[in-house]
Amino acid sequence: MQDDPVTIERRPRHILVTGASRGIGRTIAGRFVASGDTVTVLARSHDGAEKVCAELGAAAAVAADVTDASALEEALGMAAKRSGPIHILVNNAGGAETAPVSRLDVDQLRRMMALNVEPVLTAIRSVLPPMKERGVGRIVTIASTAGLKGYPYVGAYCAAKHAVVGLTRALALELAPTGITVNAVCPGYTDTDRVSGSLDRLEQKTGRARADLLAEFTGANPLGRLIRPDEVADCVHWLAGAGASAITGQAITVAGGEL
């Protein structure tokens, strides 16, 4: 069955966003709440999920460690019971570890895969049956420019995000006849507390001026600045709409022309 553009726009749509307690995920959740959608926020801790749910006015909050497949599946099932089948899944949860190649080991690579790749597959598999039954659905995963190029000292993270992009492209081809689109959004360095924390640590470790460190972070971006979380959220929101019905298997870069 082919995707009906009207169906995907019909409210109330149920959107679930993982890693929604802060940063890009929180902004994405807020963008969908503002457009009148039914939003479930998923965070690692129950308190964190409930807090952001109350702040945004989201419909519901669920908690799970996304690296625990059983816990993630249970949380997704609970969300569907509370607010109905999930129409749009946004896989945002993830994280990075740094290490030079001399200290990069298989354990770090496995941790990065367990955090950034495995939960994406687990969540997608959980939401697919009702999406297929309806003949419509949207899956958007927040990857990174690190899924399209290399960066020094984050080899395991780059490998994981490249895997996410590859998984997106493969599943998009497989699911295209079902009316479900699968895409990745790849932000560059974004103005979040995670990047701010990285700058704090580098400032303490190196003694260099924060402005100089920030200039290095933004040096590859022709706009010369960090990406704003709302710019990423707007891209995700568009992919969830009827106007993006023919967009699938893409890794859309939100990076000011870096790539």
Task: Give the closest residue to 164 by CA, choosing from 193, 185, 181, 194.
Answer: 185
Question: What distances in angstroms separate CA 199 from CA 77, 108, 209, 221, 239, one per listed residue?
Answer: 38, 22, 10, 17, 31
Burial class (CB in 10 A: 0-12, 13-18, 19+), 228: middle
Residue 64 DSSP SS3: coil
Before 152, cis peptide (omega within 30)?
A: no
- What count of other Cβ atoms lies within 10 Å of the Cβ of residue 246? 9
Q: Is 151 a catalytic residue?
A: no
151, 153, 157, 189: the active-site residue: 157
- Give me the half-sphere count of Cα atoms (radius 13 Å) on the Cβ side of residue 214: 13
Within 8 A by CB and 6+ apart from 83, the residues are 14, 38, 40, 59, 60
The answer to whether 83 and 54 are in contact (CB under 8 A) is no
Instruction: Report, as residue numbers or ranges, the catalytic residues.
Output: 157
